[in-house]
Structure 1
Amino acid sequence: MKILLIGERYSSNLGDSVICESVKYIVEKCNENIEINFADLSCREVMLSESSLIKYLYKIIRFSLRKLRKIGIANIDNYYINTIEYKYLIKSNYRKTKYDLIIFCGGQLFMDHFTYAVKYFMNYSIDASTNVIFNAIGNGMKFDSLTLTEYINIFKNKNIKSISFRDSFDFIKKLNEEYEFNVNPFFSFDPALFACEAYGQQPKHVTKINNIGLGVINLKDKFLNEHNVNIWIKLIALLNKGNYCCSIFVNGSNEDFDIAKSLYEKCTEMGLKVNIEEQPKSGYELTMMISKFDLFVSYRLHSHIIGYSLNIPSISISWDKKVSDFFAIIDRSEYNFSLQDNEIDIYDSINMMTLKIPQNDKIVNMKENILKDFKNYLGD
């Protein structure tokens, strides 16, 4: 059996890479004889072999379409224009290989940004008569999202044999009731819960909290970024007074790392003691970095999922509903803070956690459910 795994494998947000590697581990655990290939949803790896002529041609096409759109001749959205090259790349690079199954690994793929990339891979699956699985997809859509209708048409495709979502499931159920997908969607857990095993690690047994990670994010809003840097500075000052060691880290994104460096420089100028971790370049490096902490405070969802897999407690600052959804699933909502909460609340939560370090008791059942899903996908 030959399977194509599709995901944002080469995204700079390394949580997506962890998802892909975790799915590979899960598939091999279910059946070690399966042949697995990867495809990056945004076609990053196949772009490397694309000819200069083709790149230039599509640059001209994108420029022309934007001009036509601006003067009102072409009624097309920018998401279509930005990904028009993917249609050619997917068709030219994957049409020669026949797969028995295609699995979209997971991550927040249900959003405008990915609609056309998913559509072009679905077109490939139709041409090849290949069954498709959408696994533990994250939701980034709303009822007024620009490409929602386009994506709903994708979910009506007869090649789709299973659709599962990891968050915002009430919204997904309403969509299915109104538009009727090809199969009824169901809730499933994020495959990155297997990050610990996928990277050959053992769960950590934290008995004392000393080394604390501080995972920052670029919120792409000048006011919010400045506000949150100030909160971090105040929190680091409190951690210094409490004699904790603390380190700033990111999930891999260059934009996030710019915020991390700015925060580190400001703390250094103020005489605060804080380290900055090197920018991770792979899912493995991200997982190893998180494994060093006894506890961490972070924005990015997959830092928390990786931490939960490693049995490392964490505190979230929720900038997206998917983060608060995950903390509700693992019964740790009391450790989920909003952008409006202050550093004192977060610091108090850290001190409370030193008295009773939570354990990930639920993870065994969550992993059993994931394995059950994949055995169904693979026909076991």
Structure 2
Amino acid sequence: MDADATNRAELKKIRVLLLTNRDSDNVGDQIIEATVISLLRTVARNLSIADESFEISSRAAGIISKKYLRTGDESLLDPARKAISQADLLIFGGAPLFNYKYQSFYRRTIRTVELAQEYGVPTLFSSIGVEPYSDVDPRSQKLKSALNLPVVRQITTRDDLESVQRYVAGTQIATGLVADPAVFADKVFENLGKPPVAKTKVAKPIVGLVVTRGGIFADNGIDFTEGDQREFWLGAIRLLEDRGYNYRLFTTGQFTDEIFLDSLVRHHGVPAKNVTFTVNSPDELIQELRKCDSVIAYRLHASITAFALGIPSVGLSWNFKVPEFYREIGYPERAIDSTNWNPLHVVTAMETALKSEVKKEEGYLYTVYKALYDGVKEAIALDDSSTAYSLEEVFDVLPRSVKTSQREYRAKVQRKLRRSYEFYANRSKAETKGASKRVSLLRGVLRRIKQTLR
């Protein structure tokens, strides 16, 4: 870039509104936010935009409130209107923004894009999760109409490119299959949660066991109950002990996952010393994963972050996104279908993975950065002759994350408590069989979350 172009880039402040699942209890979503921000700042430097001239306002993807979705009260859109109208570029980063089967994300996405169109704000979707396109489902068709608005410039996905292409068929919108931004977690978080040197001297390998909520399987059409998941983990623990492994159980932070984990300790004899009950920040999830030599996980971002950290894992496939990720990284055999969710099969697969180093294909890692670079460069129409950094240059320039501050941590926990109390209030009204036991578990998990604020 010549001196004049550089001066113009420095003089004009470029305001990016980034929408992610940043306030989700699922810490995997918080890792996405942090890595996307680092990648965007790297793109800005690649385009010779001064740091102080590139302003990122990171907000929750649910910028359209649930109350608006219920009532249609246009006054409730005022905060979203203000944020979008002040932006030069709107980027949706890494969230499951097209989900319509049992979530309302798609409705929020539609209204957000409509507002971006109203204010003429170029819009990019970066490495998003996509549910399959449907010609007959009216929800999918409403989403298609919004995605075909002229303001949408680029849509990249981490899992279902075919559906994305069907959503925008007949348009000039750029599409692509890219890596999840969390594959850069090892670089972005390299200064956090480093394992003690003594870890390498532990005689028994440590296997991380990442549990999930009981209802996730029914939501995805899998005949596998909460009791089935419990028996699977208890059987896996017995087998790991028999084969000479240590193990640790934890979650990626979802409150409902923690309820299930708590029940394993309270009612089924899992030793508390082998459990981390609450995970509330990227620092804590990174720290848990770095204690492990291998991982068995239901939650996809435990697998993705483990991959970034060079930790071999196997993923238990409860929807198509899990096998798609393992296929993309070159280990399709490490995604275990629900028909093989038995301790012997899964532990044996883990042992096979543990014998091999995690190999990363550089071209795959690079896809998410290159797509962001191309999308941002085109959307803000800089008179720029630069070329995209190489992957090595990205590694060098990528800003590193700092430890979550006490203030940020308290805010994360308070949001989690608020949602947890809402969940508790709804469940405690239940009169069904076993309700008292479930409510007792809820109370116990709430107490543990509160303790993290002390």
195 and 90 in structure 1: CA distance in 2 versus 1, 3 angstrom threshold: farther
Distance 2:106 2:284 in 1: 29
1:39 aligns with 2:59: yes
Tell me, which stretches of 5 or more residues in structure 1 are unaligned?
A: 48-54, 63-79
Distance 1:307 1:209 in 2: 19
- Of 99, 109, 114, which residue of structure 2 is paired with 1:123? 114
Equivalenced residue count is 341
Distance 2:365 2:106 in 1: 29
244 and 273 in structure 1: CA distance in 2 versus 1, 3 angstrom threshold: farther
CA contact (8 A) 1:43 1:89 kept: no
CA contact (8 A) 1:95 1:128 kept: no
Distance 1:353 1:209 in 2: 16
Residue by residue, what CA displacement relative to the aligned partner does 1:247-297 show, whole Å, maximum 9, x if unpaired? 11111111111111112334427xx68611131112332222222211110
Distance 2:144 2:88 in 1: 24
What is the correspondence of 1:176-325 to structure 2 with a 5 Å cutoff?
176-177=168-169, 180-181=170-171, 183-201=173-191, 210-220=205-215, 221=218, 224-268=225-269, 275-325=274-324
Q: Which moved more, 1:274-283 or 1:110-119?
A: 274-283
CA contact (8 A) 1:152 1:181 kept: no
Distance 1:374 1:223 in 2: 39
Distance 2:146 2:360 in 1: 37
- Of 369, 372, 393, which residue of structure 2 is paired with 1:371? 369
Corresponding position of 2:151: 159
Distance 1:209 1:124 in 2: 55
CA contact (8 A) 2:133 2:167 kept: no
What is the correspondence of 1:34-73 to structure 2 with a 5 Å cutoff?
34-43=54-63
Q: CA deviation at 1:358?
A: 2.8
Tell me, which stretches of 5 or more residues in structure 2 are unaligned?
A: 1-13, 46-50, 378-385, 387-454
Distance 2:345 2:273 in 1: 20
CA contact (8 A) 1:139 1:167 kept: yes
Corresponding position of 1:110: 98
CA contact (8 A) 1:217 1:259 kept: yes
CA contact (8 A) 2:209 2:295 kept: yes
Distance 2:274 2:149 in 1: 50
Q: CA deviation at 1:146?
A: 4.6
> Aligned AA for 2:359?
N
Distance 1:209 1:318 in 2: 27
> Aligned AA for 1:374?
L
Q: CA deviation at 1:182?
A: 5.0
Residue by residue, what CA displacement relative to the aligned partner does 1:67-87 show, whole Å, maximum 9, x if unpaired? xxxxxxxxxxxxx438x46x6
1:9 aligns with 2:22: yes
- Secondary structure class of the residue paired with 2:278: coil
Residue by residue, what CA displacement relative to the aligned partner does 1:174-226 show, whole Å, maximum 9, x if unpaired? 4444xx34514221111111122222349999988711110011141495211
Distance 2:237 2:344 in 1: 11
Corresponding position of 1:343: 343
273 and 123 in structure 1: CA distance in 2 versus 1, 3 angstrom threshold: closer
Q: CA deviation at 1:164?
A: 1.1
278 and 110 in structure 1: CA distance in 2 versus 1, 3 angstrom threshold: same
Corresponding position of 2:128: 137
User: What do you get for the CA RMSD once the two structures are aligned?
Assistant: 2.7
116 and 182 in structure 1: CA distance in 2 versus 1, 3 angstrom threshold: farther
CA contact (8 A) 2:92 2:126 kept: yes
